[in-house]
Amino acid sequence: METDLSNYRKSYEKGELLLNEVPENPMELFQKWFFEVDKFFTEDETNAMTISTFGLDGYPKNRVVLLKKYTYEGFIFYTNYLSEKGRAIEQNPNVCLSFFWHGAERQIIIKGKAEKIAKNLSDGYFESRPRGSQLGALVSNQSEVIDNRESLDKKLSDLEIKYCGKEIPRPKHWGGYIVKPVEFEFWQGRPNRLHDRIRYTLLPDYNWQINRLSP
């Protein structure tokens, strides 16, 4: 099979990112961009982000997860700690997050270290989830090989009966991570492939060094 995509072309012309206009703290620029995309580009799932980890087999792996909270400290998402992703983070907490908002012609790439959040915070978020999502966390041995779809459906049906009218407990192997950033790159598409790229690097004194990168 051979497919030639060399004629796929798009000119990026929706914005600019100037070094003399960016804030000192990258979280402030992240929040500004996030709010703008959420308001004006509703076709994007604004909180969808790709997380890259180093797999146990030595290969990097990307997958899309949902950002559930961000603060000046970092970015929080939830998953199964025993999943392929969770086991990779346990071995090597250095991860990369990326947001691509095609409507706004923007992306943000964030390097950081992932660590588990406090159990009570995971409890609080789990309690806020729809019951179907709570049961899903109990049903799925995430990333494990299964025989068929029917086995999942049967397990879900059994748990629906077991917890009918009852509180569903958070599995101990399910919870949140916070990714504490050490580097941000903000990318704004520009014409002629001369895109704007601004990098923030965390310094030992916890200030941020800001540089413009060549496209």
Give residue-wise pLDDT tens across range 73-95: 999 999 999 999 999 999 999 99
187 φ/ψ angles, rounded to the nearest 5 degrees: -120, 120
Q: What is the mean pLDDT of the chain?
A: 94
Tell me, what amino acid is at 85? K
The region of weakest confidence among 56-65, 66-75, 129-138, 147-156 is 147-156
In a domain, 108, yes or no: yes
User: Taking Cα atoms as reference points, which of 53, 46, 65 lies closest to residue 96?
Assistant: 53
Give me the catalytic one of 129, 149, 193, 199.
Answer: 193
User: What integer is the mean pLDDT of 176-188?
Assistant: 98
**pLDDT for position 140:** 81
- Give the start-end residues of each E strand in 90-134: 94-101, 106-116
How many domains, the chain?
Answer: 1
Whole-prediction pTM = 0.92
The yes-or-no answer on residue 193 being catalytic is yes
In a domain, 115, yes or no: yes
Domain of 197: which CATH number?
2.30.110.10
In a domain, 90, yes or no: yes
Write out the two tokens for 154: 């049967």
In a domain, 53, yes or no: yes
User: Taking Cα atoms as reference points, which of 43, 37, 178, 177 lies closest to residue 108?
Assistant: 37
Residue 122 is part of which domain span?
19-130+172-213
Contacts of 126 (CB under 8 A, 6+ apart): 78, 134, 137, 170, 174, 175
In a domain, 135, yes or no: no
User: What integer is the mean pLDDT of 50-70?
Assistant: 96
